[in-house]
Structure 1
Amino acid sequence: MKTDNSTLYTISLERLDPNQHGQLKYASAFVSEYIDDVRLDNGTLTIVHRDPAGSDRIQAGVEKLIERFSKGDFGFKEHILFENRGRMPYRGDIIADLVAAKTIKVLDPGLFIFREPFSSLLRFFDDTFVQRIAKAFGAKEESYPAIIHLSTLDKTNHFTSFPEHLHFLSHLRDDLDVIESFSDSIRAAGGWKEDAPLDLNRNMPKPRFAMNPSTCYHCYEGLQGETLEGDGIVATAVAKCHRYESKNHTDFGRLLDFSMREIILVGKPEFVRENRLKAVEHLKQLAIEWEIDCLIENANDPFFTNDFQVKASFQRNQEMKYEMRLTIPSINKSIACSSVNFHSTAFGTAFDIKTGKRPATTGCIGFGLERWVFAFLAQFGLDEAGWPATFREQYHAWHNKSK
C-alpha cells in the first residue's frame, strides 16, 4: 500500500509472544535505511518506508527478526519486586507543553537543548542520587571522557550485543592535501551540505574511538590489571552517553545523547550482591517519598544479535537486571529510568581486575537523568503547585542552597 511517496508494510504478530512485540518494533527500525516510521498497534506492526527495493526487502528483514525473537522456548522469568501507585494528576502531552514553553528545543529526534526548569531538575535529580544513594555506599566520584577506545568496547562485548548503538568517531587524515582539499570543497559548495561528497576512504582513517554508550565502561578500563584490596570499591560518575537507535528516537524518552549517573560496584560477589539489593531499597524509598507511579521488575537488555534469546533469558533467570519503570500516563506506557545490574565476573575477567586471585565481580546502578525528569513531569506537569509536597520541599531546599 502506498501513501504519497511512501509505502506501508503491515504484518500481524500473532506468531510472536506479545512480550517480544516491543523488541521486534525496536529492531525493525534497522531493517532498512529508507524506513520513515515504525508503529505497533494491537499486535500489528506497520512500517512506513521508501525502500527502492519495495516491501520485499522490508518483509524479509522483519521475518528474519520474528524468527530470531521466537527461536526456542526459554520462558522468560517475570518478577515484580516493587510497585508504587501514584496519583499522577497531570495527563497531558508533556513534550508538547515543554516545547510550547520553550523549556526544551528539539534539534533532531532524540536530540534536545534543555532550559530551566528542566535543566535545574536534571541537576537536582543527579545530586539527590549522589547524596541519598551513592554516598550511602561511600562512593568515590570519578570523571570520564565522552569517547571510548574501540578496544575497550571490544572487551565489554558491546560490538556483539549492541552493534546498532555505535557512533564511530574519526577525523581528517594527517595530510595537508586532504585537509585543504576538503576545506576548499566545502567553501566552493557554499558551506556544509548533507549531500556533500565525502570520500571516507580517502579523507579519513579507520576510527579508533566511538562515543561512549555506557558510563561504567570507563571505570573498568581504569581498573584494568589491578588487584583490589578488601571487599571491593564503589565509584560514581555522571557521563554523556550516546546510542544510535534509528527511528526509535521518536519514542518518548529515547535520546540520542543523554546523561547517565552510575554507581559502580567492583569487588567480591557478596559485596556486589548485597550493595545491589541495598540500592533497590533506596530506590523504593525515593519512589514512596516522591509519590512516583512506578514499578521495579526483573528485566533484560534489548540484545540485538542472533543470540538474543539465550542472553536475555540468562539475564532474567539469574535476575541480573532490575529496571525501575516510571509510568507515562498520556501514552499509557512506562519507561525504564533506572537499572540495577549484576554482571558476575564478565568485566572482571575481560579487564583483568582481581580480588585476591579471582576475577572481580561487578555491578552498577544507573540513572537516566533526562528520563527521570521527563517521567516526573509527565506525571505531575510543569506547574510546581501540582508536585508532591515532599518533592517540592526538597527541590526548593536544594535550589536555594545551590544559588
Structure 2
Amino acid sequence: MECVVSLEGLASSQHGQLKYAAAFIDEHIRDIRINNNHIYIKHESAKSNEAIETQVRRLIERFSHGDFGFKENVLFEHRVDTPYQGDIIQELVEKKVIKVLEPGLFIFREPFSSLMRFLDYSFMSKIAGRFSDVKEESYPAVIHADTLNKTNHFTSFPEHIHFLTHLREDLDIIESFSQTIREAGGWKQEAPLDLNEAMPKPKFTMNPSTCYHCYEGLQNETLEGDGIIVAAISKCHRFESRNHSDFGRLLDFSMREIIFVGKPDFVKENRLRSIEYLKELAAEWNVDSMLEIANDPFFTNDFQTKASFQRNQEMKYELRLTIPHINKSIACSSVNFHSNTFGNAFNIKMGKRNAVTGCVGFGIERWAFAFLAQYGLDEAQWPAAFREQYHAWQQKSL
C-alpha cells in the first residue's frame, strides 16, 4: 500500500527531517520519498493508510510547531569542479572493495581501508597535533546505560539506541535456548523464542558517540589550569531504520573526536581554532565543501525549540562534502559547543564551577566515501596535495 500526505504548511527546510523521522512510524515501511510537496510512503503494514497518515501528521506537527526563525548561515565554501560523477558505492561493490552485509553495514577492503587509516592519521597530525598537550585515550564500543542516561541520549535520540544484553545466568534458560535453536535448525528470526523471559533488562548499550566516554572518565574530577584536550577514536553505533539506505548513513562507524573540557574561554577559543584548521584542510585537499550552522536531529516533541536554540547560539557547525552523483552533500565533520551540559551531568569541576565542553568530530567512513565520490579510485585524478600526503603516509607505514 502507499500512503500520500500533503506537506502544506511545513517549511521545505524541514522536509529532510520529516523524511528521516517517518522511517520510524512502522517497521514494515518499504520506501519513503518526497515530491511536489507530498510525502509518499509505501508499506506492508497491517495498519491502514489512515493510521499511517495520522502518524505522519503527528510528525508534521512536531516539525512545524511555532516559528522559531532558524538562523541559516554558511561560514565557509570551497567549490570545486570534481572529476568523478559516477555512483561510487556501485563501483566499490562491483570491484569488491566493500562488501554490503545489509544497508549501513559494510566490510571495507583495500584501498578503502587504507584510505580510512590515512584520514585518521591526517586528522590527528594536521588538526589534533596543532593543539598543545593533547591526551590520547582509547574507549570501549559499549557504554553503561546509566552513563548514557546522564547525557540525555535516551530522551533526545531514543531511535538510535542499540541495546546490549545476554542470556540470564540460569542453567535452565541457557539450555532451553540452545535446544530451541537446535530444533529450529539454527538461528532464525521467526524461531519460537521468548527473549523477554530469557534476557534481563539491558545494563549496557552500544556507544553512539565517542565523547561520552571522555566525560564519564572525568566524572567527579576537578581539572587544573584552563582545561584539557583529549583525542579519541571509537566505533559508534546508531540505528536509523530505512535511512541506512541513504549515502553515508552507517549502522556502525568510526568517529575520531578532539574533545575540549575546561573553562569557557579555553573551550571556545580552541573550538574556533579547530574550525580554522578544518577550513584549511578542506581547501588544502581541494574537496568540494561548505561549513554551515546546523542542529542535531532531535527525535522529540520539543525538536523545534532545541534545534532553534542550537542554531541561534551557533552551538553546532557541520562541514559538508558534496556527493556529485546524487547532487547532495553529507556532513563529514561537526564542531560542537555543549556549554556546561556535560560538566553538570558528570560533575566535572573547574575550581568551584562546572566545566564546559566542546568537540570536533570526524566521521572516518563518511570522509572516505565523500572523497571517493568526488575523485574516484584513480589516484591520478586525486588533488596533488592529497595524493602526495597519502603516498608519503604509505611509505612511512611500510
TM more than 0.5: yes
The equivalent residue for 1:365 is: 360
Match of 2:314 among 294, 302, 319: 319
- Give the deviation of 1:42 after TM superposition: 4.2
Are 1:246 and 2:222 an aligned pair?
A: no
Q: Which consecutive residues of structure 1, in runs of 5 or more, have no partner in the other structure?
A: 1-6
Match of 2:268 among 257, 269, 273: 273
Report the Cα distance in structure 2 between the residues aligned to 1:100 and 1:42, rounded to whole angstroms.
34
SS of the residue corresponding to residue 143 of structure 2 reads strand
- Give the deviation of 1:58 after TM superposition: 1.0
SS of the residue corresponding to residue 280 of structure 2 reads helix
SS of the residue corresponding to residue 263 of structure 1 reads strand
Are 1:385 and 2:361 an aligned pair?
A: no
**1:2-28, Cα deviation, whole Å (9 max, x unpaired):** xxxxx1112232320011000000000
Report the AA paired with residue 100 of structure 1: E
- Give the deviation of 1:197 after TM superposition: 2.1
Are 1:375 and 2:337 an aligned pair?
A: no
Are 1:207 and 2:202 an aligned pair?
A: yes
**1:148-194, Cα deviation, whole Å (9 max, x unpaired):** 00100110000110000000011000001100110111111111111
Within 5 A, what are the aligned runs for 1:135-146?
A: 135-138=129-132, 139-146=134-141
- Give the deviation of 1:207 after TM superposition: 0.5
Match of 2:338 among 340, 343, 355: 343
**1:206-251, Cα deviation, whole Å (9 max, x unpaired):** 1000000000000000000000000000001110000000000000
Are 1:82 and 2:83 an aligned pair?
A: no
SS of the residue corresponding to residue 197 of structure 2 reads helix
Report the Cα distance in structure 2 between the residues aligned to 1:14 and 1:83, rounded to whole angstroms.
32
Within 5 A, what are the aligned runs for 1:118-197?
A: 118-138=112-132, 139-197=134-192
SS of the residue corresponding to residue 181 of structure 2 reads helix
Report the Cα distance in structure 1 between the residues aligned to 2:26 and 2:327, rounded to whole angstroms.
29
Are 1:230 and 2:225 an aligned pair?
A: yes
**1:66-87, Cα deviation, whole Å (9 max, x unpaired):** 0010001100001111000112
The equivalent residue for 1:71 is: 65
Report the AA paired with residue 204 of structure 2: F
- Give the deviation of 1:40 after TM superposition: 2.2
Are 1:289 and 2:262 an aligned pair?
A: no
The equivalent residue for 1:4 is: none
Match of 2:97 among 99, 103, 110: 103
| RMSD of aligned residue pairs (Cα, Å) | 0.8
Report the Cα distance in structure 2 between the residues aligned to 1:325 and 1:253, rounded to whole angstroms.
12
The equivalent residue for 1:18 is: 12
- 1:213·1:241 contact (CA, 8 Å) conserved in 2? yes
Q: Which moves more between the two structures, 199-208 or 67-76?
A: 199-208
Report the AA paired with residue 121 of structure 1: L
Are 1:44 and 2:38 an aligned pair?
A: yes
Report the Cα distance in structure 2 between the residues aligned to 1:12 and 1:334, rounded to whole angstroms.
26
Report the Cα distance in structure 2 between the residues aligned to 1:202 and 1:311, rounded to whole angstroms.
38
Report the Cα distance in structure 1 between the residues aligned to 2:91 and 2:145, rounded to whole angstroms.
40
- 1:87·1:291 contact (CA, 8 Å) conserved in 2? no
**1:98-144, Cα deviation, whole Å (9 max, x unpaired):** 00010000000100000000000000000100011112113211000
SS of the residue corresponding to residue 142 of structure 1 reads strand
Are 1:395 and 2:390 an aligned pair?
A: yes
Match of 2:294 among 295, 299, 302: 299
**Among the aligned pairs, what percent are the same residue?**
70
Are 1:115 and 2:109 an aligned pair?
A: yes
**1:335-362, Cα deviation, whole Å (9 max, x unpaired):** 0000000000000000000101001000
Report the Cα distance in structure 1 between the residues aligned to 2:33 and 2:340, rounded to whole angstroms.
38
- 2:180·2:193 contact (CA, 8 Å) conserved in 1? no
SS of the residue corresponding to residue 305 of structure 1 reads coil
TM-score of the two chains, using structure 1 as the length reference: 0.97
SS of the residue corresponding to residue 290 of structure 2 reads strand
Report the Cα distance in structure 1 between the residues aligned to 2:91 and 2:58, rounded to whole angstroms.
39
The equivalent residue for 1:3 is: none
- 2:78·2:288 contact (CA, 8 Å) conserved in 1? yes
Q: Which runs of 4+ in 1 moved over 4 A?
A: none
- Give the deviation of 1:198 after TM superposition: 2.2
- 2:260·2:267 contact (CA, 8 Å) conserved in 1? yes
Distance 1:397 1:42, change over 3 A: farther
Report the AA paired with residue 246 of structure 1: S
Report the Cα distance in structure 2 between the residues aligned to 1:293 and 1:44, rounded to whole angstroms.
31
Report the Cα distance in structure 1 between the residues aligned to 2:171 and 2:364, rounded to whole angstroms.
42
Report the Cα distance in structure 2 between the residues aligned to 1:14 and 1:129, rounded to whole angstroms.
43
Report the Cα distance in structure 1 between the residues aligned to 2:7 and 2:98, rounded to whole angstroms.
36
- Give the deviation of 1:53 after TM superposition: 1.6
Report the Cα distance in structure 2 between the residues aligned to 1:397 and 1:277, rounded to whole angstroms.
29
Report the Cα distance in structure 2 between the residues aligned to 1:201 and 1:53, rounded to whole angstroms.
25
